Amino acid sequence: MLVDPTAAQAPPARAGARVPSLGSLTGRKLALVRNAWPSWHLMTDRLERLLSERVDGVSTTRHLIPNGLAADPALLAEIARSADAALVGLANCGSCTAWSYHDAVCLAELGLPVVLVVTSQFTGLADALAAARAVTIPTVVIDVNPETIDTDSALQLLDGAYQRIVAALLTPAADRRPAPAQAATFPLLVPYDDEDEALQACHDLGWTDGLPVVLPTARRVDAMLGALGDPDPDAVVAAMPPSGFGVTNRALAANTVMAGCAPEHLPVLTAMVRAVCRPGFNLNGIATTTGPSTPFAVVSGPAATEACLNSGRGALGPGWRANAAVGRALRLLIANVGGARPGVVAKSSMGQPGRFTMCIAENEAASPWEPLHVTLGLPAGDSAVTMLGATGTMNVLTPRSDVDAMLTIFGDSLAYLGNPNVVMGSGTVAVLVSPGHALAMSGAGLSKSDVAAEIWARSSIPVGRFPAAAYPDPPYEFIAHGGRIFPVAGPDQVYVIVVGGPEPTHATVIPSHPSCRPVTERIAC
């Protein structure tokens, strides 16, 4: 018998599931909760004009929300107090759909009639969120991505959607039946006749990442639960975005088995789960984005050794069970419990290999500096995992001994026009240096904070290099100083991490998902 790795604890029923509506738009105030799509700004400008021409006394207010982030709760509360209804959009990418849906639900729970505008490519994600959260938000579907067509055609799309938007705002509440609240789902034992049939079932049911898995038999899952200390199997470790379903100890154990983990990996994995489920990390955005973002785990302290994580040569590559299996287990949980299945909810345009697994240990033994968790304020004797949102890796080749040249090359490697951190003006970047680099820089009298400051200072781009079309769309802004554009706000957002083999040659820079804030979680050893 196989234990269903998707069986999880459903979130509590939402008190505000029924979405109210308006009887009339006459004399009403409509809040336009808009994200950063330029085409949608033009379309909602057109909507305002049409409303003013066709509806007596209607007024609108505009509220600008960054793509890939939730609106500030205080702003939503103010909108609910001051407006009679809200139009939220444009749900036109993975993370902006997930967060636009979230904002619409929050407004509905505050008693406000609300309509979500979504493009056809992302209706599946909106439907999946509605099913997971047991809330139906009235939606209007735009058939074409307005960012892919000319302005006149985008405005024609709005003209065609105008009556549907008005109708959705005016539909009587009795005609809107919210999805039924889902009861908690508990493990389903799936029978099979032989192992080949069982493995095929894992693929057919969508339980895998595309690679073969260790079969999550009841015996193996029970043994992994025992390694957790025989806890309540239905106790929840954390609520996993984007579904909000709870990662139970049994679900954790089942996905851990499937990924090929050993019992000694559980403390690290448990801390990783808790870290990525914290709101600030923005797993909702990372898991659903059209970008390639993925959680990237950096483990430091004694727990890294106890879990047999590789911190040295080849740490980002194959050949190390702990690095591969622990990161893979997190990815399986994001899909199986968080519901972020590729192509349906996980909308990455191209993906990246790090979406299979991305987990390393810091090479503390070969580093002249304090480990990352100490830099971030934890005691030296602790163990911790720091989760970052990585958009990919870039190899950097430096001179062997010229420290000034090393720092210039590290900074320049972050200073490219297409870096999402540059374009969106936020995030945290990681610079993975070898022990050889670290010893050379330390030998030159530089602390780790000195290195971060030097890299940041050398990471800027002259503003004149940017084509006009590459400027950020409001509310995003360049981080500008003296006519130069920087990828992140300051040196504190440059994480210098020692990892890999001893040669002071190859290094790796990792830009981040711009709306992700790194989270550091203690590991219980």
Q: Which H, E and C letters describe 332-391, residue by residue?
A: HHHHHCCCCCECCCECCCCCCHHHCCCEEECCCCCCCCCCHHHHCCCCCCCCEEEEEEEC
Q: Is the preceding peptide bond at 263 cis, omega within 30 degrees of 0? A: no
Q: What are φ and ψ of residue 345, in 5° steps?
A: -105, -45
Cβ neighbours around 397 below 10 Å, total: 9
SS3 state at 361: strand
DSSP string, 161-223: HHHHHHHHHHS-GGG--PPPPPPP----EEP-SSHHHHHHHHHHTT-SSSS-----BHHHHHH
Q: Which residue has the tokens 């899952």?
A: 221
End-to-end distance of the chain based on CA atoms, in angstroms?
Answer: 32
37 to each of 114, 270, 297, 477, how far by Cα in Å? 19, 37, 31, 14
Overall average pLDDT of the 273-295 stretch: 95
The confidence band for 16, taking pLDDT boundaries of 50, 70 and 90, is very low
Overall average pLDDT of the 183-189 stretch: 56
Q: What are φ and ψ of residue 392, in 5° steps?
A: 150, 180
pLDDT for 187 equals 54
Six token digits for residue 223: 């043994």
Closest CA to 96 of 116, 75, 76, 74: 116
CATH of domain 29-175: 3.40.50.360
pLDDT for 415 equals 96
Q: Is the pLDDT of residue 404 over 50?
A: yes
The CA distance from 209 to 355, in Å, is: 9
Six token digits for residue 14: 């939402």
Overall average pLDDT of the 146-155 stretch: 95
Closest CA to 170 of 114, 253, 241: 114
Q: What are φ and ψ of residue 64, in 5° steps?
A: -100, 125
Q: Is the pLDDT of residue 299 over 90?
A: yes
Residues 213-227 pLDDT 10s: 999 999 999 999 999
Residue 415 is inside which H or E element, if any? Answer: none
Average pLDDT score, the chain: 92
pLDDT for 124 equals 84
pLDDT for 380 equals 95
The CA distance from 134 to 132, in Å, is: 6
The confidence band for 172, taking pLDDT boundaries of 50, 70 and 90, is low
pLDDT for 175 equals 47
pLDDT > 70 fraction of the chain, expressed in percent and rounded: 95
Q: Contact 142/119 with Cβ under 8 angstroms?
A: yes
Residue 272 is inside which H or E element, if any? Answer: helix 266-276
Overall average pLDDT of the 203-221 stretch: 96
Q: Is the pLDDT of residue 131 over 90?
A: no
The CA distance from 57 to 46, in Å, is: 17
| Cα 292 versus chain centre, distance | 10
In the chain, list all ranges with CATH 3.40.50.360: 29-175
pLDDT for 433 equals 98
